[in-house]
Amino acid sequence: MRTQLLALSFQLLACAQTAQPVAEAPRSLPSVPDDPVPTGVDNPQHEQPAGTVPFGPEVFHERRARLMASMKTGAAVVFSAQRVDWEADERQDSDFFYLTGLADESGAAIVLAPQDEIREWLFLRALNVEPDRVTGYRTLLPSRELEQRVGISHIRRMNLLGGLIASMAYRWHDLHFFGPIVGYDGETPRALEIIGKTSARVPGAHMKDSVGMVWRMRMQKEPRELERITRATDITVAGHLEGMRRVRPGMHEYELKQIIEDGFRKGGARRLAYGSIVGAGPDGCVLHYPNDDRVIADGELVLVDAGAEYDHYATDVTRTFPANGKFSPEQRTIYEVVLHAQKAALAKVRPGVKFQELEDAARKVIADAGYYDYFIHGVGHHVGLDVHDGGYFAVQEVPLAENAVITVEPGIYMPGKRIGVRIEDTVLVTKDGAKILSDKLPREPDEIERVMHGPLREAQGGSR
C-alpha cells in the first residue's frame, strides 16, 4: 500500500504540472527512461558506470545506516554541489560525498527515510549531451548495474524529488535539517529551502533540528580515513622539507611555492588541500596572503602554510623559517613564544575538551610574553575531507572526540617589525592526548637551522 501511495504522489505532482486528470495508480514506482546519449565507440564510458571513491559502496551504506539510526524517524535530503570542478577548487559537498562516495556528480541528492520500506534514494540530474561532449560524458545512468556500484537500490532523476519529499513529509512529518547554519545575508542552504517549501504545502510537515548530526559522525575519523590523512601529512612534510632546504635570499616567493608543491606531486598528491601561502617578511603577517611575487630578502623570515590532499583527504601544516638559514635574536625570541604557546595548547588536547580551552592556553603564553595584541586568529580547526572541516558550528560547540583530527596553530604577526610567525601541526586526538601527525617536520629553532644548513645547502653554496 505504501508503494502505491508513493507512486500516486508522483502522478499527482505530474498531473498538477500538466493539468491532466489523474489516472489509476500504477502498482509500482514509475520507471524513468534514460536520456539519450551516444553509445558504443562514441561513449565508451557508458558501459562502465562510475562507482564510489575512495572506498567501496559498503562503507557508505554503513555510514548512511548509522545516520538513519540517529534520525530514528522522518526523512532527510542531502544535496550534492551544484557544480564540481576539482581543478578550479569547486568541490563536492562534503556531507554528500561522505554519505555516497560520489566525488564528481553535481546537481544530485540523496533522500534517507529510516521508517520507510525504501530507506534510501539517489536522485541524479538529467544528462545534457552537448555540454558532455566538451567536459566528458557522465557515466551515472540509472540502471541496476549503477545501483549495485553505488550501493543504493533506487536511483531516479531529480524531477521526481519534490513528489517523494512531499509523500514522506505527509507520512512521517519530520524533515531533518543537518545544516549548515548561515547568517541572514548568506545563501539559503538548498535543504533548508526545500524543507520550507514542503512544510508550506504539506499538512503536518515540519523541520526537525538535526544540525551537527552528520558532522559528529565525520569528526570521529575511521581508521581508513586516518590512513589517508596520515599519508597526506607525510607528503606535506616532505614538501616543506624540500622548501626549507632550497630556499635562498633573492628567490621569488612563487619559486619557493613551486618547489614545495612539486614535492607534493612527487609524493603522490594529485591536488592541494588549499591554496598554498608563501609570505616573506611583512607578507608573512597577512594571514591568507594571496600573492607570491615578492623577492625574498636576506634576513627575512618566510612563512609557509601549505598542505597536500591525498585520496580526497586534507592536511594543514605551517612552518616559519629564516630565508638565510639563521634566526636573528629578535626572530628567535618571537618564534619561541609561539612555539611555547603551541606546546601549551597541545598539552590540553584530549577527548571532551573544546577548542576554547586550547586557545586560552596558547593565548595566556603569548599574553604573558607581551604579544597579546599580535595573536589575531583562533588556535585551530578540524581537518578531514575539508581542510576547515565542519565549519563554525563544529569548532565552537562540539567537544573534541577521540580520533578527531585538528590543527593547533598559534601565531604572532608584527608588520611594523616585518615579522610574522605561525607554527601549525595536524594533530590526532587520542585518549592519551595529542599525537602530532606532522611531527617529522622540525619545529624547534635549532632543528630548523640544522636542516637548512644541511648537505643540500652546502652543495648549493650556502646562503647568499
pLDDT at 393: 55
DSSP labels, 286-302: STT-----SBPPTT-EE
Which residues contact residue 62 at a Cβ distance below 8 angstroms, ignoring those fewer than 6 apart?
A: none
Q: How far apart are CA 258 and CA 264, in angstroms?
A: 10
Query: Which residues, other chains included, contact 177 with Cβ-Cβ below 8 Å and sequence gap of 6+?
Result: 76, 189, 191, 192, 195, 207, 208, 209, 210, 211
Tell me: the pLDDT tens digits for 194-242? 999 999 999 999 999 999 899 999 999 999 999 999 999 999 999 999 9
As a whole number of angstroms, the distance between CA 218 and CA 178 comes to 12
Active-site position among 35, 47, 62, 89: 89
pTM here?
A: 0.88
- Assign 142 a pLDDT band (cuts: 50, 70, 90): confident
| Residue of 413, 425, 443, 457 marked catalytic | 413
| DSSP code at position 86 | G
Q: Active site residue: 66, 224, 288, 464, which one? A: 288
* CA–CA dist 173, 204 (Å, integer): 6
For residue 372, indicate whether it is catalytic: no
Kindly state the cell numbers that stand for 437: 601527525
Our answer to whether residue 222 is catalytic in this structure is no
Degrees (nearest 5) of the Cα angle 123, 124, 127? 155
Secondary element (H or E) of residue 18: helix 2-18
Name the burial class of residue 250, with classes exposed (0-12), middle (13-18) and buried (19+) by CB atoms within 10 angstroms of its CB. Answer: exposed
- Determine the Cα–Cα distance for residues 324 and 166; give it in Å rounded to an integer: 66
| Residue-range domains of the chain with CATH | 31-35+50-218 (3.40.350.10), 220-459 (3.90.230.10)
Give, in order, the Cα–Cα distances in Å from 211 to each of 158, 207, 371.
24, 11, 37
Reported as a single tens digit per residue, the pLDDT across 238-259 is 999 999 999 999 999 999 999 9
The dihedral over CA atoms of 385, 387, 389, 395, expressed in degrees to the nearest 10, equals 160
* Known catalytic residue at 154: no
Q: Name the active-site residue from 91, 138, 176, 381.
A: 381
Which of 387, 450, 85 has the alpha carbon at shortest distance from 233? Answer: 387
424 is catalytic: yes
Cross-strand pairs, 177: 209
Residue 165: predicted pLDDT: 98
Q: What is the pLDDT of residues 34-50, one digit of tens each?
A: 444 433 333 444 444 56
Is residue 316 annotated as part of the catalytic site, yes or no? yes
- What is the total residue count of the chain? 464
Is position 447 annotated as part of the catalytic site? Answer: no
Average of pLDDT values for 310-317? 98
